[in-house]
Amino acid sequence: MKPLFAVMPALSFSVVIGFGASTVAMAAGVSFQENTLPSSTSLPNISPTNSALANRGAYVARTADCMACHRDDYSGGVPIETPIGNIYSTNITPSTRYGIGNYTEAYFKKALRKGRAPNHQLYPTMPYPSYHGMTDEDISALFAYFQTVAIVDKPPEKTTHLPFPLNIRSLMLAWNVINVPSTENRSGLTETQQRGEYLVNNLEHCGTCHTPRNLTQGLDKDRYLSGAPLGKWFAPNITPDNDTGIGLWSEMDIVTYLRTGTLNKRAYAGGPMAEAVAHSTRYLTDEDLIAMADYLKVVPAIKTDDYLIPVNVSRLPQPVSNSITYDLLEQKDYLAHAKTNIANSSNNSGLNSNSPKDLYLIHCASCHGVDGYAQPDARYASIVGLSSIRRVKPDALIGVIAFGAKGAFNTAPKMPGFSKDLSPRQIASITNHVRVTFGGLPSSDVSAADVTRVIKEKS
Ligand code: HEC
Ligand code: HEC
Ligand code: HEC
């Protein structure tokens, strides 16, 4: 133990070690029919030829979202961005050479609960601080399931190479003492809420994204679920605070959001949340989704400084038309008009005096529609009324416009980042336009300096 504690100062100094489950860059897009409610029977990884235990494990694997990081075929190699560099997931198929084919159930349990692989300590990007509380029954079921997974007999394309001293995996032992387990159980919960707590904390590990980090990059229990930056995204406050969290959501709203990834004119699951919905929460049973919603209603409400400006429905735009042809024709006119305006304004003044609306029409309308309700044919996200554009802090929205977004729900082309093509002033101008026109805010004064700051922070 001596050498370990000798390097402790290095560890606490290197708060750089951020194991946040940051943006998971997924290779394969998952096509997803919006608003269909897949039931638990349609779980793709359940098979009648497998044992009941293994099939239960298949469901546990969904609730614990193993695929989000280890890929759909569990072959690994997915980069997980952390402040100290990318950490790559490993092959967890039953390949004896490249996967976990040699694991006994006892090893498997240690890996999940303590982050101990047979020969080394894992980085907490593998969410063992959350899985720490997984029940023996669920681990046995998972283990049975992983024996049935098709073997992928090759190493992941990429593996983790961190520089010294971050490559010393035993440093994690010291980190574990302070930060594992990452959550505490509450008292006084109903049976349903206890199930919800287990799902939220231990299986779904919602807090790895939604709870801010402490100085050593463990989860800050005092600010449980109150929102945290996440690479280029921001995972919002999901405590039941009315002004800054989801206090105004009903339990059904939470269930609908986790099942479908959208809540009409209120919220949309983009980026990392889209991954969580696409791989995991949409497959959960009604009972489990209700249990999580029920639990999220009783966690302590935490007020942050990132106020949510309530939707003013009367200010939201009406859809131009539900007819696809109409929308496309209409749009051609709008675009031609906007282009002429922009050409004229730069000819006249030499300066960039583009109108915010024209900028939106030229750069955004082709996907999100002239009215913000999205192109009806391409199934892009409607951006009308979304919580992400109604925050007092515009950072998340600026981040999306500057760096783009990839749809996990549809296979349509992804949203490009505009930080190279547009000036900070133009991005500020579009941001203000989106917040006022589609968010229903009375006003918005994002400046070029705000945009420059966000781009710098998130680059
Ligand atoms: C947030 C991302 C993430 C999720 C979710 C996740 N893992 Fe991992 N897992 C990783 C990473 C990254 C590693 C490699 C860590 C390292 O190299 O230290 C890993 C490593 C492992 C290992 C060790 C394999 C070895 O010997 O190298 C096992 C076993 C494992 N994961 C199983 C699972 C199971 C089962 C689930 C679902 C219950 C799961 N993981 C969910 C990211 C994740
Ligand atoms: C991989 C990171 C990640 C995980 C895991 C995750 N979330 Fe999220 N969540 C996000 C991000 C990022 C957003 C913002 C999405 C957007 O604005 O498009 C979000 C948004 C939400 C929202 C919408 C809040 C609002 O005000 O619009 C809810 C509710 C939510 N998450 C609940 C959950 C629950 C419950 C879990 C666990 C089952 C969970 N999340 C797991 C990253 C994550
Ligand atoms: C090529 C198509 C395309 C263009 C052009 C485009 N977007 Fe997007 N946008 C998307 C996709 C795809 C998503 C959804 C992300 C997802 O599904 O995970 C998205 C998501 C969004 C979101 C929702 C963020 C959230 O909360 O999850 C906003 C806001 C947004 N775009 C604004 C804009 C603005 C403003 C512009 C113009 C500067 C723009 N988009 C241009 C495709 C596009």
Q: How far out from the chain centre does Cα 413 lie? A: 19
Q: What CATH homologous superfamily does 313-458 map to?
A: Cytochrome c-like domain (1.10.760.10)
**80, β-bridge pairs:** 24, 87
Q: Reduced to 3 states, what is the DSSP secondary structure of residue 312?
A: coil
In angstroms, the CA 444 to CA 315 distance is 14
Least confident among 96-105, 137-146, 380-389: 380-389
Q: Which ligand is nearest to the CA of 406?
A: 3
Which pLDDT value is given to residue 212?
96
Judge if the beta carbon of residue 337 lies within 6 A of ligand 3.
no
If you compute the radius of gyration of the chain from its CA atoms, what whole number of angstroms results? Answer: 23
Q: 2 versus 209: which is more confidently predicted?
A: 209
Which pLDDT value is given to residue 374?
84
Q: What is the biggest distance separating any 2 CA atoms in the chain, rounded to whole angstroms?
A: 74
Overall average pLDDT of the 132-149 stretch: 97
CA distances from 43 to 148, 258, 439 (A): 15, 16, 36
In angstroms, the CA 33 to CA 384 distance is 20
CATH 1.10.760.10 in the chain is located at: 313-458
Which pLDDT value is given to residue 298?
98
Q: Which ligand is nearest to the CA of 407?
A: 3
Which pLDDT value is given to residue 376?
64
pLDDT (tens digit per residue) in 183-204: 999 999 999 999 999 999 999 9
| pLDDT above 80 (res 390) | yes
Residues near 243 by Cβ (< 8 Å), separated by ≥ 6? 303, 307, 308
In angstroms, the CA 398 to CA 389 distance is 9
Q: How far out from the chain centre does Cα 306 lie? A: 18
Which pLDDT value is given to residue 164?
82
Judge if the beta carbon of residue 32 lies within 6 A of ligand 3.
no
Q: pTM (2 decimals)? A: 0.90
pLDDT (tens digit per residue) in 4-37: 323 322 322 222 223 333 333 332 233 333 344 4
Q: Atom 31 of ligand 2 has which residue's CA nearest to it?
A: 273
Which pLDDT value is given to residue 346?
60
DSSP tag of 203: I
| pLDDT above 50 (res 434) | yes
Which of 335, 367, 411 should be mutated for ligand 3, with most atoms under 8 A from CB?
Answer: 367
Give the H/E segment covering residue 80.
strand 79-82
Which pLDDT value is given to residue 366?
84
Give the pLDDT band (50/70/90) at residue 329: low
Which of 19, 210, 280, 392 should be mutated for ligand 2, with most atoms under 8 A from CB?
Answer: 210
In angstroms, the CA 235 to CA 231 distance is 10
pLDDT (tens digit per residue) in 336-374: 777 787 777 665 544 445 789 999 988 998 888 888 988
Judge if the beta carbon of residue 89 lies within 6 A of ligand 1.
yes
Judge if the beta carbon of residue 361 lies within 6 A of ligand 3.
no
Judge if the beta carbon of residue 278 lies within 6 A of ligand 3.
no
> Around 124, how many Cα atoms within 13 Å sit in the side-chain half-sphere?
29
Ligand 2 centroid to Cα of residue 68, in Å, is: 14
Is the separation of the CB atoms in 382 and 319 below 8 Å?
A: no
In angstroms, the CA 99 to CA 83 distance is 27
Q: Which residues surround ligand 2 with Cβ inside 6 Å? A: 21, 200, 204, 206, 208-210, 230, 233, 235-236, 238, 246, 254, 257, 267-273, 276, 281, 292, 387-388
Q: What is the token pair recorded at 176?
A: 């574990």
Is the separation of the CB atoms in 342 and 391 below 8 Å?
A: no
Judge if the beta carbon of residue 142 lies within 6 A of ligand 1.
yes
In angstroms, the CA 55 to CA 66 distance is 15
Give the pLDDT band (50/70/90) at residue 226: very high
Q: What is the mean pLDDT of the chain?
A: 85
